[in-house]
Structure formats: C-alpha cells, structure tokens
Amino acid sequence: MHNKTIAELSKALHQREYSSVELTRHFLERIERHNAKINSFITITAETALASAQAADQRIAQGKAGPLTGIPLAHKDIFCTKGIKTSCGSKMLDNFIAPYNATVVEKCQAAGMVMLGKTNMDEFAMGSSNETSYYGPVKNPWDTQTVPGGSSGGSAATIAARLSPLATGTDTGGSIRQPAALCGITGLKPTYGLVSRYGMIAFASSLDQGGPMGHSAEDVALLLNQMAGFDQRDSTSLNHPAEDYTSHLNDSLAGLKIGLPKEFFAEGLDPEVGKVLDTAIKEFEQAGATLHEIQLPHSHLSVPTYYIIAPAECSSNLSRYDGVRFGYRCENPKDLIDLYKRSRGEAFGAEVKRRIMIGTYALSAGYYDAYYLKAQQIRRLISNDFVEAFKKVDVILGPTSPTTAFKIGEKLNDPISMYLSDINTIAANLAGIPGISIPAGFVNQRPVGLQLLGNYLNESRLLNIAHQYQQRTDWHKQTPANFV
C-alpha cells in the first residue's frame, strides 16, 4: 500500500479493496517500525487517525467521499491542530496545545483526510538541515548519516521513508523545495497567497507559504486542490478562483520554452549535480521543449536580501513569545523583565536568537534605511528579473540545491555555508512566484532535485511539466533501501 499513488489508493478505497482503517493501520505500523531511525515525527496521533479513518470509511460507504477521503497525511508541526500539541520544533511551544485548527488543517479534515501525526522541523522553520529542532535532528532515509534538508525535513523524510503518502510543508526561503530535493520527493511552493497562512505559525510573513509534498506531481496536485483557496482570515490571501490542478497534467510539452539562468549553473554547483541536470534537460528537449539561456542579474543578492528581510520579520513575529500568554515560562521570575528575558533566553535555540538579534538590529532606527529599506528595494529588483525572464520563457529550470544531502553536523557551526544551501530557492520567495522540486537522479546514492520556477499562479503549468517528466523517468519511484 505504501508504494501506491494517491489515485491508486483512492480507487482502492472506493472499490473497497481495503478500508481507510486498514490503510491507516498500515502506515501507523510503518511509523512505529521506522520512525526511531529517522526521527521524522514529533507527535504521532494514532488514536485520532483511526477515528478519522473510521469516519472516512462511513463517508465512502454513503457515497459522499471525495478523491482524498480516507487518505493519510502528516502535517508539519508549524500548522495549528486543535487539541494537539503544536510545537514549531521549539522548546518555546513544547507545552502548547493549539486551541484551533489552521485553515490548511481544516481543509484537509473537511476532505476526509486522515492525519497520522505532526512532523519534525527546524525550530520556527529557521534552518536548512532540520538540526535546529528542539526534538533532535531528522535523518535522511537515503543515508541516515546525512541531513534531510529543512525546514520541512520531517515531512520530506516521512514521505521518502513511506511513512505517509503525503505531507504539508512551508517554504519561506526554500523549506519545501530543498528538503524535497535532498530526500528525493516532489514538493511545491505555491504563489504567495494561494494557500492560507491562518494558523500557520509565523516566521517571516511576507515570505511564508504552505504547500504540498508527496511522491509525484500528480499526488501533489491532488493535495494542492485541497490546500489552495481564498481565506478571509488571512489578509494576504489571494482571491483566485479554484482550479483543478490535475486537469492539465497530460498537456504536451511541445513548444515549451525553458529558461536556463546561467546564475543557477555557476560556481558553487557540485559538478556531479550539474551532470544529473544536463541529462534531465535532454529529457525535456526530447519531450518537445526548447532551451533558452536567460539571466537573473540580481539573483546573487537574494541570500543577503533574504537574511535582512526574514530576520526583521521574525524579530517582530517572535516578540509574541513573552512567557506571559502561552508557551514556555521560566521558573520563579524576579520581575516582569526577568520573566521576559529568562523565558525567551531559556526556550529559544541559538539560530532563532541569532535571527532575532539580526532582525532587531536591522530594524533599529539608526540602521533601518541602510538595511531593511535597502533590502526591500533589492527585493523589487529581484522580482523584476523574473518579470523580464517570463516575457521570454515559460518556465525557469535549474538545480534546487547546489549539492546533495550533507553530513549531520557538517554545516551546523557555519551559518553562512548553511544559508547558501538555499541560493537557488530564495529568490522565488522574495518575488512570490511558485516553484517545484522534483527528483532527477542520484549522486553517490543521494537524490538530486530539479527545480522549476513559474510565473505567478502558474502552478498548473509547473505540475504539468513535472508530471510529463515523471511519465518519462522513474526517479520519483525510487525507495531508500531500508524502507522498502
């Protein structure tokens, strides 16, 4: 059951080959057997999962089911789940039981999906390796000595190890696409505003975007159908009419114009990853696409720009954790200031503190113009690069990450080198455009991800291109040896 596509699972449920309870038990057993090896779950919700599976079976029996009714999934522990611990990977929220559901969680529930649990993540989604989690690092199922990427590393590893067929993630600077690449799965970051941020714990609000993760473009399209949609409770939600993201999967790629930005194939790219990409590019050519060299002249500024804007927004968003209303509170505070200082000092990890300090500094009166304002201006230039590029090409292709998975511990004490893992993903967040990472091959048995970036609201086209590639290749079907 754990090697089936969502369409196959859905068909089997509707034809009563097996029930959602049986399917859910199967995945819960796998989680029990394998989770200790990879640490991809923070919370496993076996009881509520079986109850929702039972309800899904009834719905199927009554003929009231949709395509995702009875299908299991895991939510990144950044999405609030009513009555269930929602930690955001932090000691700060280790004791936090969310009093309400995120819109994304609600929508999946309404579809009759079965939540298996909450996945591990970098603390407050700050990281590229899942090593900043209060709950310990997640391990990459392809090689448990290596990282799964981050911050949605728990979701990516869960899918790669076949502990859940689908998961949600969030992407502020690459956190869906980069772990998808490192774990050999498919992950989509939608256009900013397409998926509601209500109940999604805020890191950097102008960049944060939730999205679907799964084995294939087709699976991911089915989950996006549920996740997307206008939400009055999110002030930046897009009022975009609902689409069926599966409806263009089978369109031909003949005449597709693919842009290859030379900046994505530059220095820093592992030459072996480059070779994998070259092979993939030939596949697209055979499918009828044409290749065009393009430029994204400001892309070299995306990492420094992001590391002003994201910390600035995080320093403001994380000021709500004060030890007073919810979350961690220190023991025996002397006075109010001591309560603030020690609660925050004791419960935030090093990376979160580093970002709050950078952000507070960048926003301070004397430096605002030099850093924050300047970063906002460059952000516009980076967006304009894409506007220009999409006048010439339909889609932009490159490596999701310049390297494959690195060793646990390797970059932990070198924040700059860690920040550079997202060099190809961050610009899409600054511009708000959609991007997808799909498996394209291996280097030394470690997966390589290929990234496709599209124009605003071109999710359907991205999924179509990814699906056509997946019809011609089987990289997305590979399973790590210890998790067959």
Minimum CB–partner distance for residue 352 and ligand GLN (Å): 10
**Catalytic residue (choose from 20, 40, 52, 76):** 76
Nearer to ligand GLN, 72 or 311 (CB): 311
Query: String of b and e for 85-102 (b: at least 16 CB within 10 Å)?
Result: bbbbbbbbbbebebeebb
Nearer to ligand GLN, 66 or 415 (CB): 415
Minimum CB–partner distance for residue 128 and ligand GLN (Å): 4
Nearer to ligand GLN, 20 or 155 (CB): 155
Nearer to ligand GLN, 111 or 314 (CB): 314
Query: String of b and e for 200-229 (b: at least 16 CB within 10 Å)?
Result: bbbbbbbbbbbbbbbbbbbbbbbbbbbbbb
DSSP code of 369? I
Q: Which residues bind ligand GLN (CB under 6 A)?
A: 125-128, 151, 171-175, 203, 310, 422
For 302, the token pair is 């995306």
CA angle 237/306/358 to nearest 5° reads: 110
Minimum CB–partner distance for residue 51 and ligand GLN (Å): 31
In the residue annotation, 275 being an active-site residue is answered as no
Minimum CB–partner distance for residue 199 and ligand GLN (Å): 16
Instruction: Please name which of 166, 82, 169, 161 lies closest in space to residue 122, comparing C-alpha atoms.
Output: 169
Please state, in angstroms and as integers, the Cα–Cα distance from residue 295 to each residue in 9, 121, 261, 262, 302, following that order: 43, 34, 5, 6, 14
Minimum CB–partner distance for residue 176 and ligand GLN (Å): 7
Please state, in angstroms and as integers, the Cα–Cα distance from residue 141 to each residue in 158, 165, 272, following that order: 9, 15, 21
Nearer to ligand GLN, 289 or 358 (CB): 358
In the residue annotation, 477 being an active-site residue is answered as no
**Catalytic residue (choose from 87, 151, 164, 216):** 151
**Catalytic residue (choose from 10, 133, 164, 175):** 175
Instruction: Please name which of 149, 151, 148, 161 lies closest in space to residue 89, comparing C-alpha atoms.
Output: 151
In the residue annotation, 151 being an active-site residue is answered as yes
Minimum CB–partner distance for residue 203 and ligand GLN (Å): 6
Residue 478 CB-density burial (10 A; 0-12 exposed, 13-18 middle, 19+ buried): middle
In whole angstroms, give the CA distance from residue 184 to residue 182.
6
Nearer to ligand GLN, 119 or 464 (CB): 119
Contact predicate 383/455, CB 8 Å: no
Question: Which are the catalytic amino acids?
Answer: 76, 151, 175
